[in-house]
Amino acid sequence: MDDGLITLPPPRSRTTPGARTAPPLSGTPLTGRPLSGTTLSGTTLSGTTLSGTTLSGTTLSGTRLTGTTLTGARPRSAESRVRSESRRGPNEGFVLLLGLVALLTVIGLVMVLSASSDEAMLQGSSPWLYFERQLLWVAVGSVALVTFVAIDYRRWRRIGLPLMLLVVGMLVAVCLPGVGIVVSGSRRWLGRGSWQFQPSELAKLAVILFAADLLTRRADRMRDTRFTFRPVAIVLAVLAALIMKQPDMGTTVVVVGVGAAILWVAGTPPRTLVNAGGVFGASAGLLGVLAPYRLHRLLSFLHPERDKTNTGYQAVQARVGMATGRLFGVGLGAGREKTGYLPNAHTDFIFAVIGEEVGLIGCLVVVALFLGFVFLGVRAAARAPDRFGTLVATGVTAWVVLQALVNVGAVVGLLPVTGVPLPFVSFGGSSTVIAMAGVGILANVAKQGR
């Protein structure tokens, strides 16, 4: 062993007569000596110290390492572990998440057909009109979901800032006369004819990617709010101002809520978040004072029957439908509120149609599915491989759940009517496609979870 190499005798072989059996290396110090290309098959290393040893091309097949210390060693067997993990099937959280979203989407297609057929016929169109459109958007959203699942979520870090700049530009364009499309008094869409796009939906995804990337890069400076909280808060303020210009209070609440959830999980001081919440509440109150009609509409949910022919009309009709359904509903397709009594029955108030036609049981099933989404989303965030994955999973989960909470709360009369769709269930192209894309990113995080 003058050259610093340890030569082990070859194992017993049927083709080599007289070969000796490799003795056990018991208590033998192997310090800084390379084991290059050596095969240790069935060898017992008991109490052996491998300090600074390089295991290059070494095969440890059936070897027992009893009480052995591997200090600074680089076993090449790690590659085989990676290959074995890649051969394993997807984890149960990933499968359950996709199954849950698929079930919500199917429920949405059925309810859109039921809730929109009468309105389509009243317009002189085919009763399948809105269903066919929604089916098209679900197909596009499914392609987006599958594509985003296949892409490593870490690749989206680089587009966080460019996507945010693009969204801000589109929101500014929406506010321009002749560019933004006005529907029911709100200027929220870009596009032409039946092909319309709502940039405020894309703003939700942009906030998630931008905030998650920034707070990951500056993880060691979370206590210094000048470099973490302040940039995110400025972006949220700009988005909120542009979205409120449309006006769209519901989407503003969701966007700000998503940003707040990411900031909280990232480790922003609680006092900073509380102060920011106070500022946001005061700003909302100021907007109500400057526009009394908005404040009157927001507060009408407390006593909608006092103005049941104007600001409280939708809330009253939604409650009538929910009460009519009782426990099991009046039957799928047999509801009356959708026949002209309840505006936006297939969009913002589709949960009321669910309550009327399939009753409390149907409503509880939908709520249970969203609660399952909360569990799987939080689980994906907790098991994410890195900080960016945790923050992205947090943002997507907060986005879907907060939007569902605002929608259901408005329908049952616990929150003001703000006009946000129920994710995966309500009719809507931009909302469906972008939400499914966001779920695709969340599913990729869950797929790679620990």
Quick check: is 35 in a domain? no
The structure tokens listed for 357 are 């036609």
Q: pTM for the complete prediction?
A: 0.80
Quick check: is 238 in a domain? yes
> Residue type for 366, please?
V
| Domain membership of residue 208 as a residue range | 93-447
List C-alpha distances in Å: 361 to 107, 322, 407, 410, 450: 14, 11, 18, 19, 36
Nearest partner of 123 among 389, 388, 339, judged by Cα: 339
CA separation for the pair 33, 48 (Å, rounded): 13
Find all residues with CB under 8 Å of 359, minimum gap 6, and list them. 325, 326, 327, 328, 329
Q: Is 91 left (phi over 0), alpha (psi -120 to 50) or beta?
A: beta
Backbone angles phi, psi at 137, to 5 degrees: -65, -35
- Helical ranges in 175-291 per DSSP H: 199-217, 229-244, 249-266, 270-290
Quick check: is 249 in a domain? yes
Quick check: is 13 in a domain? no
Nearest partner of 40 among 15, 79, 68, judged by Cα: 68
Quick check: is 159 in a domain? yes
Pairing of strands 64-66, 44-46: parallel
Nearest partner of 259 among 202, 210, 200, judged by Cα: 210
Count the neighbouring beta carbons within 10 Å of the beta carbon of residue 396: 28
Burial string for 13-24 (b: 16+ CB within 10 Å, else e) reads eeeeeeeeebee
Nearest partner of 366 among 282, 422, 285, 323, judged by Cα: 422
181 CB-side CA count, 13 A: 12
CA-only gyration radius of the chain, Å: 30
Quick check: is 317 in a domain? yes
The arrangement of strands across the sheet holding 49-51 comes to: 29-31, 49-51, 69-71
Structural domain count of the chain: 1
Provide the pLDDT for residue 28. 47
The structure tokens listed for 123 are 């317009």
**Whether 273 contacts 279, CB under 8 Å:** no
CA separation for the pair 413, 251 (Å, rounded): 18
- Mean pLDDT for each 10-residue chunk of the chain (450 residues)? 46 45 46 48 47 45 44 41 46 92 97 92 89 95 97 95 96 89 80 82 96 96 93 96 88 95 95 92 76 72 80 88 92 89 91 95 97 97 96 98 95 87 93 96 93
**Whether 213 contacts 386, CB under 8 Å:** no
pLDDT digits (tens, 9 = 90+) for 52-76: 444 444 444 444 444 444 444 444 3
**Whether 167 contacts 203, CB under 8 Å:** yes
3-state secondary structure of 105: helix
Provide the pLDDT for residue 162. 96
Quick check: is 14 in a domain? no
Quick check: is 102 in a domain? yes
Provide the pLDDT for residue 289. 67
Provide the pLDDT for residue 75. 43
The structure tokens listed for 259 are 């940003």
Q: For the chain, count helices (H), then strands (E).
A: 13, 11
